[in-house]
Amino acid sequence: MYRKQIVVIVIVVIITGYLYTLPVKGLIKPEQADGHTTAAASQKRPVADLTVEMVSAASKAIVGQALATQISATEAQLKNAGGGSQKLALQKQLAKQWDDVNQAAPAAFYYQAVAREENTFESWSKAGSRFNDAYSAVQDTVQQPALINNAIECYTNALKLQPANLDAKTGLGVAYVNGFSLGIGQDGGGPPKGVMLLLEVVQQDPKNINANLNLGKFAVTSHQYEKAVERFKTVIAQKAMPDAYFYLAESYKQLGMKKEAIDAYQKCRAIVTDAAFDKQIDEYIKELKN
């Protein structure tokens, strides 16, 4: 039950965070990239130091005293451990402990530490995935650049080991798209490299859920709502994802398709059973009916 509650909270944070991040990730001088409008990156933000200790402290306040105490005990063992296999085993244990309570940021740092020791595709890929998840869940603009840079590092290393892996390519594309909005991870002008990577993925796998979902989100931020609708419909045809329904509703709303927007909002609300979120969705629907 506890894990389910955290999953709902994370979904709500990711979805509602869109409303706050969209103005920051706005558009300047659009141009075309294979049907996807690009945008000049927003003002660059400095990349502040971010450590596992910093994100762990914040996550302990979320998971509660009992779980925090268990994790602190493992951290104490790691601090007193020697090198080699003992240290690696404890890092893996901490990664799993944080994963089990859906705290992506500390889990990411421990998976990254494991990957730097083992240099396996699985560990690099897991670390990259958790860094991307952490970026999606956090509203702290100081932490965001560091999370993105780490995600890029991890997925880049994963692709060195398995260059054709579409999941890793999608993850790297997502990280670059997120970084583009912060003015990082993009060398020179031209289309965002993250979008180009995601387009490569859907060319090979047209129904790829993660790639289509993120291309749809990018289409929303670049005001290409018709293209966004098609991306989210592709996702929903395979999996009823609340964030896909939410962004689909937002796209329909911007296109003036009120009936379709209301239907998508209602389907999103049916999946995410959260009182505060339900109230917000009701407000959106009320506005559309007026």
Helix (H, G, I), strand (E, B) or coil at 175: helix
Please state, in angstroms and as integers, the Cα–Cα distance from residue 276 to each residue in 8, 61, 249, 253, 263, following that order: 11, 21, 18, 21, 19
**148 part of a folded domain:** yes
Q: Report if residue 167 sits inside a domain.
A: yes
Q: In tens digits, what is the pLDDT along the chain, a chain of 290 residues? A: 344 443 444 455 455 554 434 433 332 233 344 445 444 444 455 567 899 999 999 999 999 999 999 999 999 999 998 778 999 999 999 999 999 999 999 999 999 999 999 999 999 999 999 999 999 888 888 899 999 999 999 999 999 999 999 999 999 999 998 888 787 766 655 568 899 999 999 999 999 999 999 999 999 988 999 999 999 999 999 999 999 999 999 999 999 999 999 999 999 999 987 888 889 999 999 999 98
On whether the CB atoms of residues 11 and 243 are closer than 8 A, the answer is yes
Evaluate whether residue 277 is within a structural domain. Answer: no
Distance CA 106, CA 111 (A): 9
Distance between CA atoms of residues 251 and 257, nearest Å:
9
* CA–CA separation, 147 and 116 (whole Å): 16
Per the structure, how many domains does the chain have? 1
* 21: DSSP letter: H
Give, rounded to a whole angstrom, the gap between the first and last alpha carbons of the chain: 38
Q: Is residue 9 part of a domain?
A: no
276 residue type, one letter: A
Asked whether residue 74 is domain-assigned, the answer is: yes
Residue 286's nearest CA partner among 266, 256, 268 is 266
Q: Is 268 inside a domain boundary?
A: no
Domain with 28 in it? 18-223
The answer, as to whether pTM is greater than 0.85, is no
Could you tell me which residues come within 8 angstroms of residue 13 by beta carbon, excluding any fewer than 6 positions away? Answer: 137, 139
Residue 232 lies in a domain: no
CATH code: domain of residue 82: 1.25.40.10
DSSP 84-150: HHHHHHHHHHHHHHHHHTT-HHHHHHHHHHHHHHH--HHHHHHHHHHHHHHHHH---TTTHHHHHHH
Contacts for 136 with CB less than 8 Å, ≥ 6 apart: 14, 17
